Amino acid sequence: MPLSEHEQRMLEQIESALYAEDPKFASSVRGGRLRSTSSRRRLQAAALFAIGLFLLVAGLAAPFKPGGFPVISLVGFIAMFGAGVLLMIGNSRKSARPDSTDTPAQGSGPSGSGGRGGGRPRKSGGFSERMEDRFRRRFEQE
């Protein structure tokens, strides 16, 4: 349902007040910086993974193995693991922020929940929480 002219004017006034009060927060909420951060984080994770893979293979091929243990390979594996963690942290932050900005609009009226959840506001969460909610709804229907 589109906003009326009065509601659009009110929204513009709220946005301008937010930009005047805290421009850094307003720009982060708007989402322009999220995309560049996630692409930069992906690039950093890919570079770290490539370096780790190189160290892993080089450590196995190198004759330098103190105590018979390939230390260089271990460092490479840790770097690859760190790249995976860096990528996962970036994805979790990215998925958490859009839910928090969409929640007020969804929970503001009865049409925001879609009518299927019994009037409950939609929970923000991961895949497992959504699956649990679906299971509960099916169990309640029977």
Q: Give the pLDDT of residue 90.
A: 66
| CB-count exposure of residue 72 (10 Å: 0-12, 13-18, 19+) | buried
* Selected residue with higher pLDDT from 90 and 52: 52
Q: What is the mean pLDDT of residues 37-55?
A: 88
Q: What is the pLDDT of residue 35?
A: 52
**Stronger pLDDT, 120 or 66, i.e. the higher one:** 66
Euclidean distance between CA atoms 133 and 28, whole angstroms: 30
Closest CA to 30 of 13, 11, 15: 15
Per residue in 92-115, pLDDT tens? 655 555 444 444 444 444 444 444
Tell me phi and psi for residue 119, to 5 degrees. Answer: 85, 5
Taking 60 as the threshold, does the pLDDT of residue 58 lie above it? yes
135 contacts: CB under 8 Å, gap ≥ 6? none
Cβ pair 56, 35 in contact under 8 A: no
Q: What's the confidence (pLDDT) of residue 95?
A: 54
